Structure 1
Amino acid sequence: MIRKPRQITPYADRDLDCQAALEDAFQQMVRLAITSGWDKIEAITALQELAFAHLSTEDDNMRITLAILQAGLTKH
């Protein structure tokens, strides 16, 4: 089970708390990959690349949303 944040609103070290909360699940995914025949570095690298790809997608989505909002504001 993944721990919840200490509070809903932002706080100092929230990012570190999230990392700590996800650590066990991360290690479990690495172990599963190793059990399936991947080596540890391949598994960790793949997880890193997946994370970067998801961040890029989120960034793209945010840019598109902002562009749409700006276009809507300039029409009025």
Structure 2
Amino acid sequence: MINPPRRQGEYLDREIDCQEAMEPGFQAIVDCMEEAGWTRREIMRSLRRLVAADNMTQKENAKVEAQLAIARAMVRAGRPL
């Protein structure tokens, strides 16, 4: 079972609570992968690559959002793109 946040809204240790809630799930994934024959080294490398890919996606999405905000502002100001 995944533990919910201690309280709603933002609070100082919310990210730590989230990490703690995720740990059993990640351990279950690693256990299943090992049972299927993957080595711990391969599993950890793959998890790191998934995190890196997600980080890259978030950065690219932020760039696109910024470009869209600039374009919207220019349209509202009546300036050509």
- TM superposition score normalised by structure 2: 0.83
Q: CA deviation at 1:29?
A: 0.5
- What SS does the corresponding residue of 1:11 show, helix, strand or coil? coil
Partner of 1:25: 25
Which runs of 5 or more residues in structure 2 are unaligned?
none
> Is 2:32 the partner of 1:45?
no
CA distance in 2, matches of 1:15, 1:56: 20
CA distance in 1, matches of 2:71, 2:30: 44
Q: CA RMSD in A?
A: 1.2
Q: CA deviation at 1:7?
A: 2.6
Partner of 1:13: 13
Partner of 1:69: 69
Q: CA deviation at 1:74?
A: 2.2
State the Cα deviation string for residues 18-54 of structure 1 (Å, max 9, x = none).
1100000000010111111111121122112101111
CA distance in 2, matches of 1:19, 1:51: 14
Runs of 4+ in 1 over 2 A off after TM superposition: none
- Aligned residue pairs: how many? 76
Partner of 2:54: 54
Deviation larger for 58-67 or 24-33 = 58-67
